[in-house]
Each structure stands twice: as structure tokens, then as C-alpha cells.
Amino acid sequence: MRILLVEDDQMLGDGIRAGLMQQGYAADWVESGDAAETAMLTNEYEMLILDLGLPGKSGIEVLKDVRAKGNDLPVIILTARDTVEDRVLGLDSGADDYLTKPFELDELTARIRALIRRRGGRSNPVIEHKDIVVDPASHAVKKEDNVIDISPREFTILLLLLENLGKVLSRNRLEEGLYAWNEEVESNTVEVHIHHLRKKLGSDLIRTIRGVGYIIDKE
Ligand code: CA
């Protein structure tokens, strides 16, 4: 899952980015609204985490522009501004959630999971597909009640395909979900992970659409 973090505080930005990466998210971190807009032009994100007090364009202005362009990606505001008026303004400007500093990373990632879940039209926090059960919170994967050992990158690909059930995702789209800017993209890596996932979860789970990408079919 690719996340864009907009935060002008160096220590906080670095800490949140590292924490998100550790949780298996591909997190890009920028320090201004202008940089955020450039990033959104060149990458497809599943989530925007937005500070409000930024140099230049404010977080609220960035948010309003995102919504004015018809971009419906989930947005969590992360800010020290904690008055009722601030929260109302943020939510009414198009944010999906609002978290005030100081906060715990565990709460931020739980809110990320909740928003991704709702976006996928699910209420159950655990994803069940045929004989496979995936828990985004614990990263646990089971097949026919057996725990399957899968790597963080394999998990990311599996989750992306399950969250987009019935849709073909291109190799490029999967790569974007795997790697942030500062990470080196290995060639053929998506193919290798898919190969491993098929070995562990069954060869018919993920279907290749030649020249287009990969899909997990709806039941
Ligand atoms: Ca700030």
C-alpha cells in the first residue's frame, strides 16, 4: 500500500515514515503542500496523511484542491490543532479522519486499516476469500486453517489484490504498492512474489492476464 505523508517537522516526518515502512507500507514523505501535489501527479496513493500547518500552502488548501480535482483517496489529518472548530473544518473540507498530536503509531495504523477497509466496502476487519483468511492487522495468513508463512512484500501484493477483488492490477501498480522512492526496485520482483504466493496459497488463486497484469477473481 502506497501512502503519501505530508509533514514539515523533520523528526516527526522521519519517525512516521519509518514506522509505516516497518508495518509494510510503502511511504513517501514530503514536507510541503506543493511537493505533495507533485507527488500525487506522478504516483498513485492509497492514502494521504496530511499535516495542517505547512510552509506555503496549508494542509486545508491541499485537501480542498485534492477534492476539487475529484480525487477520492482517503485522507487522515494529523495535526497539533485540536479545537473542535479545527476538527470540524478538517472533516468538512474532505478529510476522512482526524488525529491530533501527540499520537501513537499503533492508532494511526489502525485508522489507516479502518479507512482502507471501508473503502473496500468491508466491515469485517479480517478478509476471507475461499479457503484463505488474511488479517491486515497482524499480517497473519491462513489457508484451510493452517498458518502460512509469507514475506512482508508477498503480504502487500496479496492484500492489494484482495482489496481490489475482481480487478486487474498491472505489474507497475503492484510495484508502486511495494516500493517507496528511496527503495531500489528489483526487476522481476513482482513475478517472483506472485510465483511464491501461488506455491503457498494455490496455483489458481492469482490469475495472470497476459500483457495486462494480475487478478484475484471474485467467487
Ligand atoms: Ca507542521
CA of 99 to the centre of ligand 1 (A): 13
Does 11 share its domain with 107? yes
What's the gap in Å between 7 CA and the centre of ligand 1?
6
Q: How far apart are the first and last CA of the chain?
A: 24
Sheet arrangement for strand 146-148: 127-129, 132-135, 140-143, 146-148
User: CATH number, domain at 86?
Assistant: 3.40.50.2300
Q: How much distance in Å is there from the Cα of 20 to the middle of ligand 1?
A: 19
The pLDDT value given to residue 219: 79
104 and 137 co-located in one domain: no
pLDDT tens digit sequence for 47-88: 999 999 999 999 999 999 999 999 999 999 999 999 999 999
How much distance in Å is there from the Cα of 30 to the middle of ligand 1?
Answer: 12
Over its length of 219 residues, how does the chain's per-residue pLDDT go in tens digits?
899 999 999 999 999 999 999 988 999 999 999 999 999 999 989 999 999 999 999 999 999 999 999 999 999 999 999 999 999 999 999 999 999 999 999 999 999 999 999 988 889 999 999 999 999 999 999 999 999 999 989 999 999 999 999 999 999 999 999 998 878 887 788 999 999 999 999 999 999 999 999 999 997
Q: What is residue 67's DSSP assignment?
A: H
Q: How far is the CA of 6 from the centre of ligand 1 (A)?
A: 9
Q: Supply the range of the domain harboring residue 114.
A: 2-119
Q: At how many degrees (to 10) do helices 105-119 and 10-22 cross?
A: 60
> Is pTM beyond 0.85 here?
yes
Cα–ligand 1 centroid distance for 52 (angstroms): 6
Which of 119, 144, 172 is the C-terminal boundary of a domain? 119
CA 32 to ligand 1 centroid distance, Å: 9
Cell 492508532 found at: 107
Shared domain for 151 and 77, answered yes or no, is no
Q: Are residues 106 and 131 in the same domain?
A: no
Distance 78 CA to ligand 1 centre (A): 9
